[in-house]
Amino acid sequence: MESRKGFTLVELMVVILIVGILAAVAIPIMRGRIDSAKWSEGRSMMGTVASAIRAYVAEKDTWDAGMDGGFANWGTQLGFRDEDFDGTYFDSGMFDVAADYDPNSAPALTFTITGTNTDLTPNEYTLTEAGAWSWQ
């Protein structure tokens, strides 16, 4: 009788089953890492806006409430051009600012910058003047 070398059909099916289970576990984990990496672009842009708000208030000693809202309200006032926010995953329309400046209170400057991208999880990040991040 000749000896055959190789794998049986059952052995191959077991290997395919194990690889399928590993893929089913790994793909959701990797998806979360991908979204987190994409959000790093948005968080970087939000940090730049926060620095610009601080510089604007330090120079002008004021904040106009009319600058709250979307990029059209605060973008050019803070010295940005629309193309400055042309990222791979984010653009200027995805950021909102709400700020208040009262030199007689502590802290004198308070602000919240919100970045939204409904294609990613989480959908929204928020940065405050204290440097605190939150997400939804």
CA distances for 122 relative to 10, 23, 37, 72, angstroms: 42, 23, 12, 25
Mean pLDDT of 97-124: 96
Rounded Cα–Cα distance for residues 97 and 108 (Å): 16
Q: Which pLDDT value is given to residue 5? A: 82
| Residue-wise pLDDT tens digits, 45-83 | 999 999 999 999 999 999 999 999 999 999 999 999 999
Q: How confident is the model at residue 3 (pLDDT cuts 50, 70, 90)?
A: confident
Write down the residue that tokens 């950021």 correspond to.
Answer: 95
Supply the pLDDT for residue 134: 97
